[in-house]
Structures are given as structure tokens and as C-alpha cells.
Amino acid sequence: MTLADQTFALPPVAEDRAAMIRDHLRDAIVDRRLAPGTKLNEAEVGTLFDVSRTVVRAALQALAFEGLVKTERNRGAFVANPTPEEARQVFASRRLIEPGLALAAAQRITSGEVAAFRERLHHESELLHQRGPTARRAEIHASGDFHLLLAKVAGNAILLRFMEELVARSSLVIALYGRSGASSCGHGDHGNILAALEQRDGELAGRLLLTHIDHIEADLDLRNTSNLALRDALVTDAHRLP
Amino acid sequence: MTLADQTFALPPVAEDRAAMIRDHLRDAIVDRRLAPGTKLNEAEVGTLFDVSRTVVRAALQALAFEGLVKTERNRGAFVANPTPEEARQVFASRRLIEPGLALAAAQRITSGEVAAFRERLHHESELLHQRGPTARRAEIHASGDFHLLLAKVAGNAILLRFMEELVARSSLVIALYGRSGASSCGHGDHGNILAALEQRDGELAGRLLLTHIDHIEADLDLRNTSNLALRDALVTDAHRLP
DNA sequence: CGCGCCGAAATTGTATGCAATCTTGTCTTG
DNA sequence: CAAGACAAGATTGCATACAATTTCGGCGCG
């Protein structure tokens, strides 16, 4: 009845504020609205979302666990600034996990899920044709969503969570080390992968995923740390060493 | 000098209290001193470790991220009570990840690391011959450490963290669904795996790992939920459903 | 002019207090 | 006697206050 509807309609807005702040911050980081190295002041974030520092700390702790934020004792939380080595490890992990997801997904995928994939691909290709930073952000976001959808279809909640973390961190890595701003997913790889899944050829989908990850990583400039590390040090924590 | 020694000797005790409490609780859960479903009262844990609830909450939140603790809003934190489905997903994830770790580890393993493995295996076999619950706990712990060492040798920090979570959750699963208390690792599988790594045969090590995981999972009783779920419900949260 | 020291301001770490919610035992009522 | 209502107690969610630490500007000194 209307009563029951109202009791459900009112509270969902204020359901869990720490989770809400965490999600907003994560979106901002993944969309590159918050640059790597940016300091996340507890009080500032708190006033921004109109909550106390207690709640902000919970959100920041969650993001730290996901690897999107790095906290240093008595110094605060910063948007993560992955090193080239960490970047390689992110992609190595994805190369290990995603073919397995493809195998599982190919067996389980339903026609409804295929439709959902198609819709996402369509959205993605539309974004590719647009210009401007907003479209770029949305494109990176949508590209990640493709891989998350793959993980969802595979049906393993634990691996899905791992992939959520890996996709988010990939976005950070691309932000830091991406050469061209755009070529991350312009190859149409996603379409081919979906086609393989549709034919329930998980092996093929896995192979395509590997070359797809190769494409992404090939666009990165992970050349050795010296100059980049210097820049990192200057940007983020120049005043730290003893 | 003695001064430097003291400045290092004093603070490490009180370095980060939330992390310390988290580690203590995790050990207790993994060692089965805290049964699945046990309520972790914030005030109680706080007085136990002589800290405020603030610190306890941080520790519990961290454990919730790792999947060892489940929190319910306004109801508190409980030692996780994985369902058979979750248990299957834990092992499916390990089957996907560990052969990849073996491949990397076989390439990178050093003689020093081989020695560390041997020492651990020796420790493990000693525990196997002992009786009593303390030895059982230590044995489960040691068995997990073998897999964590493998992940360390593989050299990927992200996958190492994933494995830490998976190993800990495996321990919970074995506690809940293990048939015999002991057969989890009595097959000597670990020795064979190490031998393969030593010969840098990562493929073989990976295959051995898969059969090893099969052995562990074969000792579980994951038959479908009905009666087990009932028991879970009775034990842990009988008063929750509407 | 550079360099290190010192103190105020800012920021984080932790404890505590209060409001909201859930739990539990009792009592009423059919 | 069973079932539901209700109130007291216990517990969590959150905000705030205070202590500990770091940061940063200025000052004196080589």
C-alpha cells in the first residue's frame, strides 16, 4: 500500500552515508576529476558532503583497501599514485583473471545479458564519436564497465570484487601513463569478445581478452621510473624524507 | 647506537593499534578460536584490547573488507559464515589464480626462497605428527602459509593480497564444512609442488596445485544448503527475517 | 644568501557523549 | 496459554572534543 511504499521510499536516500561518499570519491578518481596525488583532507571532504570526519574516515579507509587511495599515518589520505611496477602488476593480474572469467561467462551467459552487453557497446561507440573531456571520462568509465559486466556474468562474487578493484586501478594507471588519451579501447575489441561469448567460445574470448589487454598496455609509457618518480615526488610528497 | 635502538625499540609496540587488533582478530578467526557467526561486540573487543570503540570499528571494517567479518547495519559485526556457494567461489578463485602464481614463481624462485619453503614444509610435517587442537590450528595456519609464500615468490603484490584473502576465507570454509578435521593437507602435495618449482617447471607446479585444491575441496561437505542453511540460521541470526 | 631551528596553525588519531535502532523480558489480551 | 504490544536495557551510528603529530612561516646564525 501507500504506507509500505513510503516507508521504502524515504530512507534509501540516507541509507549508508560512508558508502555513498566512498562511491562518489571513487567515481571522481576513476573519472580523473581527482588527479593522482591529490590530498583528500578529511574536514574538507566532510563539509563537502555535510558529514563528520568519522564518516569520511570510513570512506577513505574503504578506498585505501581498494588501492585507490594511499594513507600515511599522521599525514592523511592521497589519491593513489601507482608506480610503473604497480601498473604492470595490475595488468598482469588482469591477464591472469580475465580469461578465466571469459571461460565461465561463455558457459553461463544468457540472451538478456547479451542484450545488456550490446547496449553498453552501443553507448561506448557513441562516446567514441564525441569530443571533449566529459566524453573521454565517460568513455573510460564505459570501457571499464564492459569488463565488470563480464565479471558479473561469470557469476563469481569474489572475482567480481577483485575485478572492480583492478578496473578502477587500471583507470588510474591509464590516467598517469596513458600516451594517447583515447586509444584505450578504440580497437573494437569489445565487440569481438562479445561475439565470442555469444558463440559460447570461452577459449576464443579469453584469447581476445589477452590481446585486448595487450592493446591497452601498449598505449602506456611505463619506461623506467627515474624521471616519472621524480615528478611524483615533487607533486605529491616532496617534504617527507628525513 | 643504543639511542637509535631505543627509538626503534619503543614505538613499534604501539605503532598502529587498529592494525594490531585487526591482525589479532584475523588470527583468532583463521585459527578457529572464534567460531563463524560469533558476534564481535565493539565495546567488548575494546575493553579486551584497552582501546576505544573508534579503533575497534576501524579494525572490524578492515576485516569486513577481507570477507572474514560480516557487518549488518545497527546490528554489529559477526565472524563470517560463508554459504556453500561462497565456499565454491573461494576455491574457484584459487583454482584460477594459483596456477598463474606457480608459473611466475617457477621463473623467479631463488635458492634462499627454496630454503624458506623447505623450512616451512618441515614445520608442517612436524605439526602433522602432533595431537591436540593447538597443533591442528597451527597446521591449518602453516598450510595456508605455504600458499602465501608461493604468492610472495611470484612477486605480484596485488595477487598476494588477493591470496591472503582467499587463504583466510578458505580456513573459515574448512572450519565450517571440513569433514575430517585433518586431511586438508596430509597428502604431501606441498612437497611435490615445491619440487616442481625447484625444477622451474611452472606448468607442472600449476597442475599439482590444481589437484591439491581438488584434494582440499574433496574433503568438504558442500551438499546443498537446506539443512546446513537451517543450522546456520539457527546458530547465527534466527531473529532477522521479517 | 643559504640553512637549520622554533613556534603557531593545521591536520590527523583517539576517546567520549548523545541520538537512533535493535534486543529482550514482561505484561496485557484474546 | 499463546501471541502481540510495549518499555527498559544494550548496542551501534555519528558528531564532537581533545591530544598528538605534522606542516609551514619566520627568525637567527653561520
Q: Which of B40, B60, B80 is the last residue of a domain?
A: B80
Residues A6 and A125 in one domain: no
> Would you say B36 and B80 are in contact if contact means Cβ atoms under 8 Å apart?
yes
Q: Based on the domain organization, do A67 and A92 belong to the same domain?
A: no
C-alpha cell at A52: 563528520
In this predicted model, which residue has the larger pLDDT, A138 or A40?
A40
pLDDT of residue B147: 97
Supply B115's cell numbers.
630454503
What is the reported pLDDT for A96?
Answer: 98
Contact B159 A93 (CB under 8 A): yes
Give pLDDT tens digits for B106-119.
999 999 999 999 99
Do A106 and A70 belong to one domain?
no
How confident is the model at residue B225, as a pLDDT?
Answer: 56
In this model, does residue A4 exceed pLDDT 90? Answer: no
For chain A, the distance separating the N- and C-terminal CA atoms, rounded to the nearest angstrom, is 66
Chain B positions touching chain A (beta carbons under 8 Å):
16, 54, 57-58, 61-62, 65, 67, 73, 86, 89-90, 92-93, 96-97, 100, 104, 156-159, 162, 166
Cα B99 from Cα B102, distance rounded (Å): 5
Confidence of residue B3 (pLDDT cuts 50, 70, 90): very low
Q: What is the pLDDT of residues B13-50, one digit of tens each?
A: 457 999 999 999 999 999 889 999 999 999 999 999 99
Pick the closest to residue A61 from A53, B170, A189 (CA basis).
A53
- Please judge whether A62 and B65 are an interchain contact, meaning their C-beta atoms are less than 8 angstroms apart: yes
- A74 and A89 in a single domain? The answer is no
Task: Write down which residue in A39, A54, A80 finishes a domain.
Answer: A80
Which residues fall within 8 angstroms of residue B181, CB to CB, at 6 or more apart? Answer: B136
DSSP string, B134-161: HHHHHHHHHHHHHHHHHHHHHT-HHHHH
| Mean pLDDT in residue range B100-108 | 98
Q: Is residue A230 part of a domain?
A: no
On whether residue B65 sits in a domain, the answer given is: yes
Nucleotide nearest to B73 (CA to C1'): D12
- Give the model confidence (pLDDT) of B57-70 as tens digits: 999 999 999 999 99
A57: nearest nucleotide, CA–C1' criterion: C12
pLDDT in tens, A184-207: 556 789 999 999 999 999 999 999
Confidence at A183, pLDDT banded by 50, 70, 90: low
To test the contact with chain B by mutation, choose from A26, A69, A158 the residue with the greatest count of B C-beta atoms within 10 A, namely: A158
Of B151 and B31, the structure prediction assigns the larger pLDDT to B151
Cβ-based neighbours of A60, under 8 Å, separated by 6 or more: A25, A40, A42, A45, A69, A71, A77
Say whether both A133 and A37 belong to one domain. no
**One domain for residues B36 and B110:** no
Q: Provide, rounded to the nearest whole percent, the portion of chain B with pLDDT above 70.
A: 83
pLDDT at B130 over 90: no
Instruction: Output the domain CATH number for residue A25.
Output: 1.10.10.10
Same domain, A175 and A143: yes
Residues having Cβ less than 7 A from any atom in strand C: A 39-43, 53-54, 57, 71, 73-77; B 16-18, 51-55, 58, 73-75, 239-240
Q: Is residue A181 part of a domain?
A: yes
The CATH number that applies at residue B161 is 1.20.120.530
Q: Determine phi and psi for B76, rounding to 5 degrees.
A: 115, -170
Lowest mean pLDDT among A99-113, B3-17, B110-124: B3-17
Say if residue B25 is in the same domain as residue B102: no
Instruction: Establish if A171 belongs to a structural domain.
Output: yes
Do B40 and B109 share a domain, yes or no? no
Whether residues A47 and A149 share a domain: the answer is: no
CB atoms within 10 A of CB A191: 16
Residue B43 lies inside a defined structural domain of this protein: yes
Residue A143, H or E segment: helix A133-154
Q: Which residues of B touch A67 (CB under 8 A)?
A: 158
pLDDT at A178 (0 to 100): 86
Please indicate whether residue B185 or residue A191 has the higher confidence score (pLDDT). Answer: A191
Range(s) of the domain holding residue A69: 2-80
Q: How confident is the model at residue B6 (pLDDT cuts 50, 70, 90)?
A: very low
More confident residue, A54 or B12: A54
Q: Tell me phi and psi for residue A222, to 5 degrees.
A: -100, 25
Task: Classify residue A239: in a domain, yes or no.
Answer: no
Same domain, residue pair B68 and B97: no
Residue A78 pairs in a beta bridge with: A39, A70
Identify whether A226 is part of a domain.
Answer: no
The reply to whether A197 and A116 lie within a common domain is: yes
Query: How many domains are contained in chain B?
Result: 2
Predicted local confidence at residue A3, as pLDDT: 24
Contact partners, residue A107, CB within 8 Å, separation at least 6: A200, A202
Q: How confident is the prediction for chain B on average, in pLDDT?
A: 86
According to the model, what pLDDT value does residue B4 have? 28
Instruction: Work out the average pLDDT over B73-99.
Output: 96
Residue A35 lies in a domain: yes
* A45, A80, A115 - which closes a domain: A80
